[in-house]
Amino acid sequence: MNLARCPYCGLPDEPGTLDHILAKSLYPEYSMFTKNLVPVCEKCNQKKRPRMWNDDGTRRFINPYYDAFMASPFYAIEILPPYQTPLFRVAFPNLSDADRNICESHFKRLQVYSKIANSCAERSRSLCWTFLPEVLDNTLTVAEMRWLVTRLERGERQGGGPNTWDGALYRSIIADDAVAHFVVTVPIGPALPE
């Protein structure tokens, strides 16, 4: 597990506390079991609360030790127009219905959606500023931009694993023809949300 990020929300900060996946108040026999302790950020630990299960017996939260889907990119970021002020939506395109339900519950309850959207707005604007000189000179092609962004995505994957916010954003920019065209032709880039 990469301890440079909170495994619950992906916040790029070192986790400062331990969460009991199964709450110690409800399952004291597991309170010191190492696979029940997850290093997380303070906010996720406070938001998660002791209830791990829904009333119907399904899980509410991802388990970073046992959920195999976390070993590869399990979510995607959809970039929605207008690209000058885009919206960023998280989707779980390749998961089973059961895993998708867990992820949707997890992201909603821990407010991961808004954290990712805010990060994507900042990172996409920064990326556009990086490419600004070539865009103004009309010398950056879509192929070159994709090559550069692919290098950034590989760096994210090596440094933070397959599910960093920036890595997911980079994969979306690479895959979406309309977004890629926008990046190389519009010299201002996306505006930051207010």
The tens digit of pLDDT for each residue in 60-102 reads 999 999 999 999 999 999 999 998 889 999 999 999 999 999 9
Write out pLDDT tens, residues 52-70.
888 898 999 999 999 999 9
pLDDT of res. 187: 66
pLDDT of res. 85: 86
Write out pLDDT tens, residues 2-41.
578 899 998 887 788 999 998 888 889 998 999 999 999 9
pLDDT of res. 75: 96
pLDDT of res. 190: 54
40's CB contacts (< 8 A; 6+ apart) are: 6, 7, 8, 9, 15, 17, 18, 19, 48
On whether the CB atoms of residues 60 and 109 are closer than 8 A, the answer is yes
Q: In 40-111, where does DSSP find H-type helix?
A: 42-48, 97-109
pLDDT of res. 189: 55
**What pTM was estimated for this model as a whole?**
0.88
pLDDT of res. 159: 87
| HSE toward the beta carbon, residue 18, CA cutoff 13 A | 11
| HSE toward the beta carbon, residue 37, CA cutoff 13 A | 10
> 3-class DSSP state for residue 19?
strand
Q: Which amino acid, residue 102? A: I
From 181, 103, 176, select the one nearest 141 (Cα to Cα).
181
Write out pLDDT tens, residues 109-165.
999 999 999 999 999 988 888 888 888 888 999 999 999 999 999 999 998 889 999
